[in-house]
């Protein structure tokens, strides 16, 4: 009974009829712990650096030759869109089944490379897509500067995918960073997996936009992981058809 009286007394109105306590200082519509604080100075610097790295990596990706197939090369040759071509050919006397590389530059569109089949195994069908490519280059409506390399070039060197590295760094920020405001962490993960550049959008907007230094209230309709997964399936397919890094 004493405890009950004490509990009522703690919530009794004051002299002016107001109730003291937490409800007297909380903002309307929620508690203080639901508001989203801007990043610390260190966090903001990290976000800005990664955003800059994203921009640099995307620009770099646009300058790197993109992988195509032999059919794309033959089409470009027949259209007269190929300026130069470097093709690997098997060394004299070498037999076997192998994949050889051909690189080419274009008058319009991204420079590219492809791998073609070459098989001279005894008792099996003989395949030489390289001969078809060379014949197409010779009959192309525009002159093609052809360079032939004997043997397979050394491809043991490791090539870094800068955009992939920055994407992974953004993923670590998502995992270890503050609670996002517009979508859950799982939602941002699915979106960033379907369209990698959306992680740059995450860095700009979450948990508070980089240009804002005041707390913000929760989003009215926060995107959850399940809906984001379904959305990523649709957006991922569209992205593959218009991906500027593969154009």
- Is 122 contained in some domain? yes
The pLDDT, as a whole number, for residue 32 is 45
Rounded Cα distance, 68 and 247, in Å? 10
Domain that holds residue 191: 36-62+160-241
Same domain membership, residue 203 and residue 83: no
Same domain membership, residue 191 and residue 119: no
Q: Quick one: tokens of 156?
A: 């043991």
> What is the CA angle 60-195-205, rounded to 5?
90
- Is 226 contained in some domain? yes
User: Tens of pLDDT along 168-198?
Assistant: 999 999 999 999 999 999 999 999 999 988 9
Rounded Cα distance, 129 and 70, in Å? 8
Q: Please count the residues of the chain.
A: 247
- Is 29 contained in some domain? no
User: Tens of pLDDT along 26-39?
Assistant: 344 444 457 899 99
User: Tens of pLDDT along 212-234?
Assistant: 989 999 888 899 999 999 999 99
Of 105, 130, 150, at which residue does a domain stop? 150
User: Tens of pLDDT along 44-88?
Assistant: 999 999 999 999 988 888 888 888 889 999 999 999 999 999 999
Same domain membership, residue 106 and residue 58: no
Same domain membership, residue 74 and residue 56: no
| Count of structural domains within the chain | 2
- Is 246 contained in some domain? no
Of 95, 120, 150, at which residue does a domain stop? 150
Same domain membership, residue 144 and residue 79: yes
Same domain membership, residue 219 and residue 106: no
Same domain membership, residue 100 and residue 172: no
- Is 10 contained in some domain? no
Three-state SS for the chain is CHHHHHHHHHCCCCCCCCCCCHHHCCCCCCCHHHCECCCCHHHHHHHHHHHHHHHHHHHHHCCCCEECCHHHHHHHHHCCCEEEEEEEECCCCCCCEEEEEEEEEECCCCCEEEEEEEECCCCCCCEEHHHHHHHHHHCCCCCCEEEEEECCCCCCCCCCCHHHHHHHHHHHHHHHCCCCCCECHHHHHHHHHHCCCHHHHHHHHCCCCCCCCCCECCCCCCECHHHHHHHHHHHHHHHHHHCCCCC
Same domain membership, residue 166 and residue 52: yes
Please check the confidence at residue 163 and state whether its pLDDT lies above 50.
yes
Q: Quick one: tokens of 222?
A: 């926060």
- Is 85 contained in some domain? yes
- Is 9 contained in some domain? no
User: 26 φ, ψ to 5°?
Assistant: -75, 145
User: Tens of pLDDT along 136-158?
Assistant: 999 999 999 999 988 777 665 56
Same domain membership, residue 164 and residue 226: yes
Same domain membership, residue 175 and residue 106: no
Rounded Cα distance, 47 and 203, in Å? 6
Of 150, 178, 202, at which residue does a domain stop? 150
- Is 185 contained in some domain? yes
How far CA 86 is from CA of 79, 83, 111, 168, 181, in Å, comes to 18, 11, 12, 34, 51
Q: For the purposes of burial, counting CB atoms within 10 Å of the CB of 11, is it exposed (0-12), middle (13-18) or buried (19 or more)? A: exposed
pLDDT band of residue 242 (cuts 50, 70, 90) is: low
The pLDDT, as a whole number, for residue 90 is 86
Same domain membership, residue 57 and residue 164: yes
């Amino acid at each position: 009974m004493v405890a009950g009286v004490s509990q009522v007394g703690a919530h009794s109105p004051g002299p002016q009829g107001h109730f003291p306590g937490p409800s007297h200082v909380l903002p309307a519509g929620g508690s203080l712990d639901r508001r989203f604080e801007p990043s610390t100075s260190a966090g903001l610097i990290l976000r800005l650096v990664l955003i800059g790295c994203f921009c640099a990596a995307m620009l770099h990706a646009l300058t790197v030759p993109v992988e195509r197939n032999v059919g794309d090369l033959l089409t470009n040759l027949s259209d007269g869109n190929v300026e130069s071509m470097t093709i690997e050919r098997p060394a004299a006397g070498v037999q076997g089944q192998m994949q050889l590389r051909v690189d080419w530059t274009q008058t319009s569109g991204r420079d590219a490379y492809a791998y073609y089949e070459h098989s001279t195994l005894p008792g099996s069908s003989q395949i030489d897509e390289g001969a078809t490519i060379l014949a197409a280059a010779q009959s192309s409506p525009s002159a093609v500067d052809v360079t032939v390399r004997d043997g397979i070039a050394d491809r043991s060197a490791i090539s870094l995918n800068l955009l992939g590295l920055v994407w992974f760094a953004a993923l670590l920020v998502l995992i270890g960073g503050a609670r996002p405001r517009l979508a859950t962490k799982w939602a941002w993960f699915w979106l960033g997996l379907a369209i990698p550049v959306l992680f740059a959008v995450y860095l700009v907007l979450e948990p508070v936009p980089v240009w804002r230094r005041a707390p913000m209230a929760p989003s009215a309709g926060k995107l959850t992981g399940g809906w984001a997964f379904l959305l990523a399936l649709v957006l991922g397919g569209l992205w593959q058809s218009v991906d500027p890094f593969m154009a």
